[in-house]
Amino acid sequence: MSINNCLGVGLLATTVFISSSYASTWYTNAGISITNGQYKKSKLRKEAFSTSLQFGFSYLEQWGINFRTAYSSFIFKQEISTIKQNEYGARFYKNIFSDSANGTFTLILGNYWINGKDIDTTITIYPEITYLNRSKSFLIGLGYANSQYNNSNKLLFRTDQLSATLGFTPLTRSLWINIKSYLITFNNETHYASQPTLSWFIPKSNWLYPSILSIGGLIGKRSYAVEQETMLTYNVSDVQQYSYFASAKWNLTDNSHFSMTAGSETYHDITNNNNYQYNYINGSLSAIW
């Protein structure tokens, strides 16, 4: 082998070693999530099961699109038949890097649908804008979600949701406090709720130790809420009240993650004047490449 050939092979080997991870402008992500929950003290509800698939693409850090599809079933007590619903979602985002504002503005547009036999079809449009400063120590966001509940293409009612987000790092950069507040109006009713979350980023992490631990909850009350982060629309009339959860996320590899969440949500069923709890556990697996 000549010196030139040796050099060529050497260069090629180095190129392959370095380039393999970052040579692309496009990134793909995918994830699967399974949730199982039991209802406690409910006169009607017994159990819920949901499985969802998420995937998306992004062009470097500039823009991206995510899709979610889910299948959920709600099992009832007595003679009420099980409700099965299909959920679909698409969320587009575009980052604008601003020097004058010393941070990044993100424009988000979410579009979510729910349909199924014996349920109202729900269509949600959710534009949102967030600002994150360059040192990633402060975030604010403002969003508006409009949901239409239809039965056989006939509009039953609309809900309007205003959401405001505040996130910041207190004391140390390994902690993040996020508070998302909701103001939801429908049928002349107004609900207000706030969702605080505390996350702890653990610097030393591998597949044994979690990289992020989070606890959070919900204060206030809300119905028909839409969550942009989880791409979820809560299409139930029951009023969600105080709730709490704990979650842990593990890095399986640099680009694959596993997370577990356990939580409890309290609801008020107005029709039956019944307070009940929904205790759930969720497992998610995600990867980016």
Partner 1 sequence: MNKPLNQTYCFLLLLTLFLISPTIKADEWGDSYKLEAEGKYSAAAEALNSFIVKKPINEFALLRHGWLNYSSRNYNDAIHDYKQALTLNPNSLDARLGLILPIMAQGRWREAALHATKVLDVAPWQYHAHIRLMACEEAMQQWSTLEKHASKVAERYPSDATIQVYLARAYISTGKINLALATYKRIKQMFPGHIEATRFLAINSE
- Give the torsion through C-alpha atoms of 72, 276, 215, 28, to 10 deg: 10
Figure out which of the listed residues 106, 194, 251, 275 binds partner 1, where binding follows CB under 8 A.
Answer: 251
Q: How many whole angstroms separate alpha carbon 68 and alpha carbon 47?
A: 22
Instruction: At 70, list the tokens.
Output: 């889910």
Whether the CB-CB separation of 287 and 31 falls below 8 Å is answered with yes
- Which residue number, 61 or 189, has a Cβ lying nearer to partner 1? 61
**Piece of 16-24, 145-153, 228-236, 237-245 that binds partner 1 (CB under 8 A):** 16-24
Helix (H, G, I), strand (E, B) or coil at 196: strand
**Piece of 112-120, 160-168, 180-188, 248-256 that binds partner 1 (CB under 8 A):** 248-256
Q: Is 153 left (phi over 0), alpha (psi -120 to 50) or beta?
A: left
- Which residue number, 2 or 25, has a Cβ lying nearer to partner 1? 25
Whether the CB-CB separation of 215 and 198 falls below 8 Å is answered with yes
Rounded alpha-carbon distances, angstroms, from residue 213 to 13, 168, 187, 248? 39, 16, 38, 5
Q: How many whole angstroms separate alpha carbon 265 and alpha carbon 241?
A: 7
Q: Which residues ranging from 136 to 195 are in contact with partner 1 (CB under 8 A)?
A: 136
Figure out which of the listed residues 29, 111, 205, 277 binds partner 1, where binding follows CB under 8 A.
Answer: 205
How many residues touch partner 1 (CB under 8 A)?
Answer: 32
Q: How many whole angstroms separate alpha carbon 150 and alpha carbon 288?
A: 36
**Piece of 29-37, 121-129, 185-193, 208-216 that binds partner 1 (CB under 8 A):** 208-216
The residue written with tokens 């004391």 in the block is: 171
Please, what is the minimum distance in Å from the beta carbon of residue 184 to partner 1? 33
Figure out which of the listed residues 9, 15, 137, 174 binds partner 1, where binding follows CB under 8 A.
Answer: 15
**Piece of 58-66, 140-148, 229-237, 270-278 that binds partner 1 (CB under 8 A):** 58-66
Figure out which of the listed residues 11, 53, 142, 281 binds partner 1, where binding follows CB under 8 A.
Answer: 11
Q: How many whole angstroms separate alpha carbon 194 and alpha carbon 181?
A: 4
- Phi–psi pair at 228, nearest 5 degrees: -70, -40
Q: How many whole angstroms separate alpha carbon 241 and alpha carbon 268?
A: 7
Site string for partner 1, 62-101 (x = CB under 8 A): x----------------------------------x-x--
Figure out which of the listed residues 19, 28, 137, 230 binds partner 1, where binding follows CB under 8 A.
Answer: 19
Q: Which spans of this chain sit near partner 1 (rule: CB under 8 A)?
A: 10-11, 14-15, 17-19, 21-25, 27, 60-62, 97, 99, 104, 134, 136, 203-206, 208-209, 211, 251, 253-255
